[in-house]
Structure 1
Amino acid sequence: MSGERVLVTGGSGFVGAHCVLALLQAGYDVRTTIRTPARAADVRSQLRAGGVDDPGDRLAFAVADLTSDAGWSDAVAGCRHVLHVASPFPRRQPKDPDELVVPARDGALRVLRAARDAGVQRVVLTSSFAAIGYGHAPTDRAFTEEDWTELDSGRPVSPYVRSKTLAERAAWEFIEREGGPLELATVNPVGVLGPVLGPDVSSSVELIRLLREGRLPRLPDVHFGIVDARDVAALHLLAMTRPEAAGQRFLAIAGEVMSAQEVALLIRGHLGAAGGHRISTKLMPNWMVKAAAPFNRQVRDSLGDIGVVRRASGDKAGRVLGWEPRSREEAVIATVDTLPVQPTR
């Protein structure tokens, strides 16, 4: 892969940094977008944490923002492939969904237009299970890439779920109407865990942090899928290079979903005498969650997830691309073992 350059948008983020790391380790040259020049140091720090001390001139930076046209033509210049990972992902849901929808949707379209105009062969868009499994009536079947989140079903969906769904739909519509020869594939991960390389992490990692630090005396009755960030990055590379990936969606999940209680039990057993006693495995009664909802926006936003099990299947990625993820347990433990220890107060 010597001399072949790939653009990664959002290389300072959790998944973005793992994608940059995987590309460098596979022999590619990488250019990554950052919002400000100061973020370059964050990317380099995360690469060192991942085992790449000095990529030299194999790593380059471009300043570009999802909310502006400026910088994108320069960012994609000379790249054969683009991994569009950047997307707004706040730890708290905004009151106005457009705060997430507009940059997610318009940013994806900016990247696709710039890629098409530059003659890029394929864009791999980091979407989410959020664009697949929400807004549906309860079901025991596993969701697949054939499913789309239903935004108009009358069932509540968060601004983040709305943003990921609208952004991916807009991307596919762009390819159909005006993409020309540009190819698109999407990767739709569930909750992303795995080695923590820096301060920008997923909301799933934040949950693990709270559990490990004993800051959740009672656990909500929530279930979620898990996948390791290293495997998400590996799936991006497969979707980028394999001819059969063009025009396809790939759901990324390792095994079955886990409950918050199961995750807590796993961490408690892993830490043992070194801190397992701090981790509660007690469930919070649903009535307590509902009682707190009027006074806490985060709790209110999570009401639609209480007691709901959304199963998902990653069979397609394995069948079509040969993707073999680590176990969900390994992803959880890798997160626990790499989270910075907070000082005791």
Structure 2
Amino acid sequence: MTRTSPRTPDTPRTQVLVTGGSGFIASWCVLALLEAGHDVRTTVRDAGREPALRDSLHAATDFDDARLTVVRADLRADDGWADAVAGCDYVLHVASPTLRTVPDSAEEMVAAARDGVLRVLRAARDAKVRRVVLTSAFGAVGYGHPPRTAPFTEEDWTNLDAAVPPYQRSKTLAERAAWQFVAEEGGGMELAAVHPVAVIGPVLGPDDPPSLRAVRGMLDGAAPMCPPFATSWVDVRDVADLHVRAMTDPAAAGGRWLASAGRSLRLVEVARMLREQCGERAAKVPTRELPLPVARLLSRFEPKLRALRPQLGQDFDATGAKAERLLGWRPRPIGRTLADTADSLLAHGVVRGG
């Protein structure tokens, strides 16, 4: 299901830690690593999630259970991290406070993200890990800027002097802290950062990832019209593939890597593509765009639009050309990803459609 290169008999087997293994992106990273022949250790905050994680991975691919170890560790505490990274060659640090687990304040979200990153980096350095791949986000690249026509690249950083939402602020400050730590205290450990744009794609189980809210809401007919903004999109399977490439390719060390499958699309374009791809199953999907002045007015009162206020009227276009050129990364077309996303959400009963 993923497209990483399988391990050959001459390829040494490596041990990789993936943090937050039950998450949407992290679970696909675990799958990609297993299919590429690596041994995987992954952390979860709740040990009770291990059976469901194993079941979802086994439903997607065949692997020896002994090649996957699930351990409990929480980014909010030091306990467990030394054992989690012990003997690992690489770390994919995917876990982070999400829009599902927002702390009570913006300051708490920033502290949780930054402190969690530094906690993992210290443990990785002490365990002599070769390279850490940090899952950052487009939120650390493209917020707080005036309108522009050129797509965002890895050279861009979110402008924290502007009014930037807490999640994007936390990702920016956490990534900056990571680069500073590796430069000043990393002891030669390498770092690469992956920056996914809006992540969609199939789920591995009956989960409800926050990043699929837009597609899920369209299929559910949650709103009669689409909010007026545009963003770039990427398939979660290709995000996982880019993590593995950033882990193993010598060219990836010390670099930031945008995971973006092409030009930005307005939500109404995505909605129309869903209608085209899914037919009657997407009968509830809206195909008109809410006028920007109306959206801004309604965002004062309507909670869902209020959360989107920083995006309204914006075009968050980003290019993954650097990863394609230097790492050989080849993302799927978004039309195909939308069809796979809808099929998966419908199959797992996350939405009913029709």
Question: Scaled by the length of structure 2, what TM-score is found?
Answer: 0.92
Structure 1's 343 and 260: CA in aligned 2 closer, same or farther, altered over 3 A? closer
Say whether the 8 Å CA contact 1:92–1:298 is kept in structure 2.
no
Alignment map for 1:1-345 (pairs within 5 Å): 1=11, 3-52=13-62, 55-91=64-100, 96-153=105-162, 156-272=163-279, 274-339=280-345, 340-341=348-349, 342=351
Structure 1's 229 and 88: CA in aligned 2 closer, same or farther, altered over 3 A? same
Say whether the 8 Å CA contact 2:233–2:261 is kept in structure 1.
yes
> Equivalents in 2 of 1:301, 1:278: separation in Å?
22
Secondary structure, in 3 states, of the residue corresponding to 1:280?
coil
Aligned length: 340
Quote how far apart the aligned CAs of 1:295 are: 2.5
1:167 alignment partner AA: A
% same residue: 50
Say whether the 8 Å CA contact 2:251–2:326 is kept in structure 1.
yes
Quote how far apart the aligned CAs of 1:298 are: 3.5
Identify which range, 193-202 or 177-186, moves more after superposition: 193-202
1:34 alignment partner AA: V
2:65 alignment partner AA: G
> Equivalents in 1 of 2:103, 2:297: separation in Å?
21
Question: Scaled by the length of structure 1, what TM-score is found?
Answer: 0.94
2:283 alignment partner AA: H
> Equivalents in 1 of 2:42, 2:289: separation in Å?
42
2:177 alignment partner AA: A
Say whether the 8 Å CA contact 1:12–1:200 is kept in structure 2.
no
> Equivalents in 2 of 1:79, 1:14: separation in Å?
22
Deviations along 1:54-102, one digit per CA (max 9) or x if unpaired, are 5310000111111101100000001000000001112486662123212
> Equivalents in 2 of 1:225, 1:95: separation in Å?
29
> Equivalents in 1 of 2:237, 2:252: separation in Å?
19
Quote how far apart the aligned CAs of 1:3 are: 4.1
Identify which range, 207-216 or 30-39, moves more after superposition: 207-216
Quote how far apart the aligned CAs of 1:201 are: 4.6
Say whether the 8 Å CA contact 1:93–1:298 is kept in structure 2.
no
> Equivalents in 1 of 2:109, 2:206: separation in Å?
21
1:79 alignment partner AA: C
Secondary structure, in 3 states, of the residue corresponding to 1:240?
helix
> Equivalents in 1 of 2:215, 2:164: separation in Å?
23
Deviations along 1:280-328, one digit per CA (max 9) or x if unpaired, are 2121222332232233344223122111112111111011111111111
> Equivalents in 1 of 2:19, 2:102: separation in Å?
22
2:27 alignment partner AA: A
Deviations along 1:29-61, one digit per CA (max 9) or x if unpaired, are 100000021011231132134234x53100001
What CA RMSD, in Å, does the superposition of the two structures yield over aligned residues? 1.7
Say whether the 8 Å CA contact 1:134–1:149 is kept in structure 2.
yes
Secondary structure, in 3 states, of the residue corresponding to 2:300?
helix
> Equivalents in 1 of 2:266, 2:101: separation in Å?
21
Secondary structure, in 3 states, of the residue corresponding to 1:33?
strand
> Equivalents in 2 of 1:148, 1:319: separation in Å?
21
> Equivalents in 1 of 2:104, 2:265: separation in Å?
29
2:18 alignment partner AA: V
> Equivalents in 2 of 1:49, 1:232: separation in Å?
20
> Equivalents in 2 of 1:92, 1:136: separation in Å?
27
Identify which range, 236-245 or 85-94, moves more after superposition: 85-94
